[in-house]
Amino acid sequence: MLDTPNRAAIEAPSLTDSGVAAGKVTPRPDLLTVADAKAMSLVEMTELFKDHINPGQLHFMKLLGFHKVKIETASGMYYTDQNGRKILDFFGGFGSLAFGHNHPRIISARKQFQDEDRHEIAIAFMSQYASALAKNLAAIAPGDLDMVFLGSSGSEAMEAAIKVAERAAGPKRPKIVYAQNSFHGKTKGVLSLTDSELYRGQFQLTGNTVKVPFGDIDAIRAAFEADPEIGVIVLETIQGGGGIVEAPVEFWQELRALCDKHGVLWIADEVQCGMGRSGHFFAFEKAGVVPDVTALAKSLGAGKCAMAAMIATRDVYMKAYGTPKTAMIHAQATFGGIGEACVTAIEGLNVMYDEDLIGNAAQVGAYLINRLNELKAKYPQIIKDVRGSGFMVGLEFQDFSQTLPALLRPMVALLDDKLKGSLSGFVGAELLRDHNVLVAFTEYNRNVIRLEPPLICGPEHVDEFIAALDAVLARGIVRIVRDFIGSQTKK
Instruction: Measure CA of the first residue to CA of the last residue in the chain; give whole Å.
Output: 87
The count of residues in the chain is: 491
pLDDT of residue 6: 52
What is d(CA 465, CA 432) in angstroms, rounded to the nearest whole number?
11
- Average pLDDT, whole number, for the chain? 92
What is d(CA 211, CA 271) in angstroms, rounded to the nearest whole number?
20
pLDDT of residue 1: 41
Q: For residue range 249-299, what is the model confidence (pLDDT) as tens digits? A: 999 999 999 999 999 999 999 999 999 999 999 999 999 999 999 999 999
Q: For residue range 433-454, what is the model confidence (pLDDT) as tens digits? A: 999 999 999 988 999 999 999 9
What is d(CA 348, CA 103) in angstroms, rounded to the nearest whole number?
9
Average the pLDDT over each of 82-91, 154-163, 420-429, 467-476 and give the range with the smallest value.
420-429
Predicted confidence band at 414 (pLDDT cuts at 50, 70, 90)? low
Percent of the chain with pLDDT over 70: 91
Residue 245: its H or E element: strand 245-246
pLDDT tops 90 at residue 7: no
DSSP type of residue 202 = T
Residue 396 pairs in a beta bridge with: 385, 448
pLDDT tops 60 at residue 408: no
Q: Which tops the pLDDT comparison, 306 or 333? A: 306
Asked if residue 427 lies in contact with residue 473, where contact means CB atoms within 8 angstroms, the answer is yes
DSSP type of residue 21 = T
pLDDT tops 60 at residue 14: no
Torsion sign across C-alpha atoms 163, 348, 273, 289: positive
Longest dimension (CA), the chain: 109
DSSP type of residue 84 = S
